[in-house]
Chains A and B, each alone.
Chain A
Amino acid sequence: MENRDVVIIGGGPAGLAAALELKKGGIDDILIIEREKQLGGILRQCIHDGFGLTRFGQTLSGPEYAQRFIDEVLAMGIEAMTNATVIDLSGDKVVTAATPKGLIQVQAKAVILTMGCRERTRGALAIPGTRPSGIYNAGVAQSYMNLFNTMVGREVIIMGSGDIGLIMARRMTLEGAHVKAVFEVLPYPSGLPRNIEQCLHDYGIPLYLSHSVCEIMGDKRITGVKVVEVDSAMRPIPGTEKVFSCDTLILSVGLIPENELSLAAGVELDWRTKGAVVDENLQTNVPGIFAAGNVLHVHDLVDFVSLEAEALAKGAAAYLKEGPLEKCAIEVGMDAGIGHIIPHRVSGTKDFQISLRVRKPVGKCTIMVKQGETVIASLSLPKAIPAEMIQFPVKAEKILTGERIEVSVHVK
């Protein structure tokens, strides 16, 4: 069995950024394991622009954004094994991967989980109806079109207003498909405002909020969907059913962090994020196993994925150089206005960054971080929407007790 200081599982934006930052922090013995034949992860199929505004101050396509990191990884001599799929991860950090040269096993001192996420499917939603061909998750359709040069259909309905679905609405329109409508079950869009603007409004594609696809029709290829309006409790309103014909249904109904390997290693998961429970170092409950990017919680922008992975490297490097990290005993909780929060635990001796999403859209508000009645950090916003991740720092000097930290949203 081979020994390594760090094994990074997944060579997408999180894995690449973590590798670079570790290397810059003086860690040399790094192995990135990537299941695809090239590095870059999901960015390879994201040929639209809009990446890098935060990280690089300019707008890049997905492959361009990834290439900046890939070039640097190669230039710095970081070893990346592609076409190798990790099939097992043990709690004592033995990584097993299938490669065309054989099964490899690596004993790592630290493991970085950067496996990304997968799409929620029709089956998970249990959408009623028949099971014809022509139903694609948005990311799968994107892969077919942008990596396999394959057109999946012509008359398109999109269910869910997640960002990939919006991007695909524009992409398919540009390729000559007729995108008839996007239906979103919530009373507000799931995707970013800029994508609603640039991918739907610019092309005259209607977005129906509070609408759900309640039946899929067609025996062979899909022939249509039945759509129903829902009330504020998301219950269908009888009598509002309408049929839309189509030959393709694109689903953009949420992403789920891909944590099967994490579970195998005994990593504790948060039922809200479906990602690991982590401390301020982004270390999981298994010492030496860290997580960042979409495997930890689904991000809105890749820039934040990179930044989060870079932040992780500091803790991971300290773990490798100095041994077990300081115990993080202060829990971070939240009120009902917040959907999820990272990190789950902090030490109280280090500055840290809070990442969160609000549960539903609110106007002018303040996000308060408190210990008891003491406000230790706050952020005032003109508005907050679930589609956008909110991040802000908390200073260690403000944390004076070991009391639980509570984060809450106060609408003005």
Chain B
Amino acid sequence: MNTNFDVIVIGGGVVGSAAARELSRYNLRVAVLEKELDVCNGVSGHNTGLLHSGILNEGNTLRMECCLEGNAEFDQVARELDVPFKRCGKLIVGFGEEERARLETLYQRGIESGIPGLQMIDAARVQELEPNAHADFALYVPSAGILDPFLYTIALAENAVMNGARYYFNQEVTGIERADGLYRITTVHGVFTARWVVNCAGLYAFRIAEMLGFPGYQPKRVKGQYAILDKKTGKYLGMPLYPAPNEYGACDVHVTPTVDGNVLVGPTIEQIGDGIDYSVTQDMLQVLVRQGGKMFDYAKRDYYIRNYAGVFPTILDPRTGKDLDYTIETKPEAPNAVNTVGLNSPGLTCALPIARRIVKKIQETEPLIPKETFRPTRKGIVRFAEQTKETQDALIRSNPDYGEIFCRCECVTRAEIKEAVHNILGVETVSGIKYRTRATMGRCQGGYCETRITAAIQEELGRKKEEVLLNQIGAYMFTGDVK
């Protein structure tokens, strides 16, 4: 295995994958080291799936600059990378004079920051836009959208690989040394060398920063819990609904449709200790039921199909006591290292703008030569469920595997599962198949298809029962054969 690269990106989340994809535009040998077994197992896979407008961010920050840039270009990005995306807009709803004043403040700040199309609208217009919203008035943000966070991250990573980048999974970085103008990166399973290192380690970026010589970043662990509602509720919600900011300026639990027709309720917000903890708790579930129900009549437990939690990669700014702004930095004491920290929400929206700024940092030191063979486009797995009956029939006639429904709830076929099992990144977990196809994401939560998926992993890849993993090393599915 050749482990010598021009640039090594540490972390294969949405930012690391965007960086790899943007770097793959140039004549560089690029590798991504990811500690998990897939690209969206951290922050990139535990979020709300929003294309943010920037309305909730303060102006004059790098975060706002990246958000506006990322928001504006996303129609094109979604087309290029075949990412499910809908620019549906969003509503921040309010009642009473106090909330009206807070929304007016947001509106003014948004106008000053250059967020396009903002409107304060009355109850009648709210009803027109979103018949199931409850509001006296609202701030309408037409530039907001929803996207599939898993498929976006996967698309960036796949496009990077198509253009020559290499992904190494299960490679948690344990040490970084610099000698003879090269970085020597030790992981739990190997040693890699590179001329450049880019830190895109998300929740663990502070740790990699320290290894690279950017010490002193303090993470602040903020967790958000969510409920996912049955697709039966999707037709009642066309765009995200947020409550007006509370007295601390934060929005409580909101409801967000997904591109696939589910509805997300959340996140709750709580500060947690140092460890990363994706558990869902009884008290926060009650908050979701209570606050979600206020926003949306269908946010009821009857429609719950799953819960999850995410942790924001927030860094505390010791000078201000506030959250640190996006930080993309180099310094002479750490040559050929690009450090990023504080890449908090909206990371999905900002990933490509951040990636371009990372490339620019490298270009400040050395010229990069564009690669003539670079192709910016990538095609995802064709979704049988979303085709017309004529196309479905044609697909089956071209490949009988399309005629076998593996996942009943989401109508995913054997052909799609097989394509996912043989994905270009080499991911072979059950959750990897799920993110790529939606199989197991429906209301039966894999009751029908999971046996088929695990069988496909065994058959297609020649794996033993004990080798089939849910999502990570140690998360084994089976103990072996029945006697």
Contacts and interface: CB of A to CB of B under 8 A. Distances in A.
A285 interface: no
Contacts of A99: 396, 403
A122 B445 CA distance: 9
B319 interface: no
Interface stretch (B69-77, B126-134, B446-454): B446-454
Contact of B307 (A123, A153, A247): A123
A152 B479 CA distance: 6
B253 to A, nearest CB: 15
Contacts of B476: 133-134, 221
B461 interface: no
Contact of B397 (A102, A121, A134, A176): A102
A121 B471 contact: no
Nearest to A123: B306
A67 interface: no
A121 B445 contact: yes
A352 interface: no
Nearest to A129: B279
B278 A131 contact: yes
B483 interface: yes
B444 A118 contact: yes
B479 A154 contact: yes
B450 A151 contact: no
A232 interface: no
B482 A145 contact: yes
B120 interface: no
A153 B482 contact: no
Interface string B395-416: 0110011111100110101000
A156 to B, nearest CB: 11
Given A103-B389, A118-B448, A121-B445, A175 B403 contact: no
Contacts of B227: 126
Given A121-B445, A130-B279, A175 B483 contact: yes
Given A126-B280, A133-B469, A140-B451, A100 B477 contact: no
Given A102-B397, A121-B444, A126-B304, A151 B279 contact: no
Interface in B338-392: 384, 389, 392
Interface residues of A, number: 49
Contact of A149 (B409, B448, B481): B481
Residue in B278, B384, B444 with the greatest tally of chain A CB atoms within 10 Å: B444
B263 to A, nearest CB: 14
Interface in A126-150: 126, 128-134, 137, 139-140, 143-145, 147-150
Contact of B405 (A85, A105, A132, A175): A85
B465 to A, nearest CB: 6
Interface in B459-480: 465, 469-480
B451 A98 contact: no
B396 A118 contact: no
Nearest to B478: A150
A214 interface: yes
B444 A102 contact: no
Interface in A166-196: 175-176
B301 interface: yes
Nearest to B404: A100
B281 A128 contact: yes
Contacts of B404: 83, 85, 98, 100
A35 interface: yes
Nearest to A176: B483
Nearest to B303: A124
A116 to B, nearest CB: 11
B278 A130 contact: yes
B431 to A, nearest CB: 10
Given A129-B279, A151-B479, A220-B473, A124 B304 contact: yes
Contacts of B308: 131
Contacts of B307: 123, 126, 128
Interface residues of B, number: 57
A119 interface: yes
B228 interface: yes
B282 A35 contact: no
Contact of A87 (B401, B411, B446, B451): B411
Contacts of A85: 404-405, 408
Contact of B285 (A119, A128, A148): A128
A143 B451 contact: yes
A72 to B, nearest CB: 27
Contacts of A353: none
A327 interface: no
A150 B411 CA distance: 25
Nearest to A144: B451
A138 to B, nearest CB: 10
A132 B389 CA distance: 38
A96 interface: yes
A100 B396 contact: yes
Residue in A102, A147, A175, A176 with the greatest tally of chain B CB atoms within 10 Å: A102
Interface string A51-93: 0000000000000000000000000000000010101000000
A126 B479 contact: no
A103 B387 CA distance: 12
B393 interface: yes
B475 A133 contact: yes
Nearest to A119: B447
A101 interface: yes
Contacts of B469: 133
B451 A123 contact: no
A103 B396 contact: yes
Nearest to B445: A121
A220 B481 contact: no
Contacts of B448: 118
A83 B401 CA distance: 11
A88 to B, nearest CB: 8
B446 A123 contact: no
A139 B301 CA distance: 23
A101 B445 CA distance: 28
Interface string B209-247: 000000000000000000110000000000000000000
B403 A102 contact: yes
Contact of A128 (B228, B280, B444, B482): B280
A219 B448 CA distance: 25
Nearest to A104: B393
A176 B479 CA distance: 12
Interface string B430-446: 00000000000001111
Contacts of A145: 482
B191 interface: no
B305 A124 contact: yes
Contacts of A154: 479
A151 B481 contact: yes
A347 B474 CA distance: 60
A337 to B, nearest CB: 23
Nearest to A263: B232
A219 B227 CA distance: 19
Residue in A99, A121, A143, A147 with the greatest tally of chain B CB atoms within 10 Å: A121
Given A118-B443, A139-B447, 12 more contacts: A35-B405, A100-B403, A102-B396, A103-B392, A119-B447, A123-B304, A130-B278, A134-B477, A147-B451, A150-B482, A214-B282, A260-B409
17 contacts: A98-B413, A118-B447, A123-B305, A124-B305, A124-B445, A126-B304, A126-B307, A130-B279, A133-B470, A144-B478, A148-B455, A150-B480, A150-B482, A151-B465, A151-B478, A219-B474, A220-B473
Interface of B: 227-228, 277-282, 285, 301, 304-308, 384, 389, 392-393, 396-397, 400-405, 408-409, 411, 413, 443-448, 450-451, 454-455, 465, 469-483
Please list the 4 inter-chain residue pairs (A to B) with the smallest Cβ-Cβ separation, ordered nearest first.
Answer: A220-B474, A123-B306, A133-B470, A100-B400
